[in-house]
């Protein structure tokens, strides 16, 4: 599952993990199981598209021989041809969720700059110097744009977060069909597997069902910041069907959209 940080990856992974033939590698519950982190690192650079069910890195899971592993690729680009899909979200909401628009806390800014420097090494090392010197938000947007456009160049079909949280069933049906898996209603009840109030990666409440509460969060961004985001993200937004006219955001049909 290709994406970019703060795009709803944990929520999508939680839903998919409820399918009896899906094994989500990591980053739903916090903290991650160390064995899952080791599995993730082993798969990050794996060229083969299959892995033996009895592979030592899978010993703690005992997956079915026909299981599908979902590997989250949010802040690095896979070096080999891959199957899968991309989850995208409008860049206004992504920047807001990542708090990259805030610039009044030097300690937070230093942490974010170090983090973005690490991400640049996995997404595009050529951005490392720019990320080190540019304003935090501009470095974040450059990384976001590079990641989304690379996933499109790699030919991955995509789904949009806003449509997923507004009407999850058709989006999940499209994703499972693309993965070659039959439909299972369990993906719509994934929240039932978690304790009340349990917090997961991305600080989401894992025990809550999918809901559209954050779909319109982008409206909280100041107009001047929206213009700044759009200036950098215009191409990436357009190829994913996000059309912004300076006030409203429209989701249009786009090549590669999973239906």
pLDDT value at 27 more than 90: yes
Instruction: Say if residue 80 is exposed, middle or buried (CB neighbours under 10 Å; 0-12, 13-18, 19+).
Output: exposed
CA angle 244, 6, 150 (to 5 degrees): 70
Give residues with Cβ within 8 angstroms of 133, minimum separation 6.
Answer: none
More confident residue, 82 or 87: 87
pLDDT value at 152 more than 90: yes
Please state, in angstroms and rounded to a whole number, the distance separating the CA atoms of residues 168 and 190: 12
- Give the residue among 152, 161, 158 at the shortest CA–CA distance from 235: 152
Q: How confident is the model at residue 199 (pLDDT cuts 50, 70, 90)?
A: very high
What is the CB neighbour count within 10 angstroms for residue 196? 8
State residue 193's pLDDT score.
Answer: 96
State residue 64's pLDDT score.
Answer: 87
State residue 101's pLDDT score.
Answer: 84
State residue 76's pLDDT score.
Answer: 94
State residue 44's pLDDT score.
Answer: 92
pLDDT in tens, 128-147: 999 999 999 999 999 999 99
pLDDT in tens, 162-196: 999 999 999 999 999 999 999 999 999 999 999 99
- Give the residue among 140, 163, 155 at the shortest CA–CA distance from 249: 163
Please state, in angstroms and rounded to a whole number, the distance separating the CA atoms of residues 90 and 246: 14
Q: How confident is the model at residue 14 (pLDDT cuts 50, 70, 90)?
A: very high
Least confident of 50-54, 75-79, 97-101: 97-101
Please state, in angstroms and rounded to a whole number, the distance separating the CA atoms of residues 16 and 22: 7
Least confident of 47-51, 73-77, 100-104: 100-104
Q: What percent of the chain has pLDDT over 70?
A: 100
Q: Quick one: tokens of 127?
A: 């951005």
pLDDT in tens, 42-54: 999 999 999 999 9
State residue 24's pLDDT score.
Answer: 97
Please state, in angstroms and rounded to a whole number, the distance separating the CA atoms of residues 21 and 122: 29
């Amino acid at each position: 599952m290709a994406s970019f940080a703060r795009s709803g990856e944990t929520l999508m992974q939680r839903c998919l993990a409820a399918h009896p033939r899906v094994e989500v590698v990591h980053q739903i519950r916090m903290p991650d199981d160390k064995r899952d982190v080791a599995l993730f690192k082993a798969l990050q650079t794996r060229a083969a598209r299959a892995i033996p069910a009895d592979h030592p890195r899978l010993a703690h899971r005992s997956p079915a021989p026909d299981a599908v592993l979902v590997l989250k690729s949010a802040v690095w680009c896979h070096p080999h041809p891959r199957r899968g899909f991309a989850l995208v979200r409008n860049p206004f909401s992504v920047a807001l969720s990542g708090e990259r628009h805030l610039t009044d806390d030097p300690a937070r800014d230093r942490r974010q700059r170090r983090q973005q420097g690490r991400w640049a090494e996995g997404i595009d090392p050529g951005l490392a110097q720019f990320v080190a010197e540019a304003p935090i938000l501009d470095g974040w947007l450059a990384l976001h744009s590079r990641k989304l456009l690379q996933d499109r160049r790699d030919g991955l079909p995509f789904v949009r977060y806003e449509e997923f949280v507004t009407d999850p069933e058709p989006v999940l049906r499209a994703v499972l069909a693309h993965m070659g898996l039959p439909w299972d209603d369990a993906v719509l009840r994934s929240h039932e597997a978690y304790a009340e109030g349990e917090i997961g990666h991305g600080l989401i409440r894992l025990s809550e069902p999918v809901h559209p509460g954050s779909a319109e969060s982008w409206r909280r961004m100041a107009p001047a910041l929206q213009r700044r985001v759009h200036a950098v993200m215009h191409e990436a937004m357009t190829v994913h069907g996000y059309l912004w006219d300076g006030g409203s955001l429209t989701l249009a049909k786009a090549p590669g959209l999973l239906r």
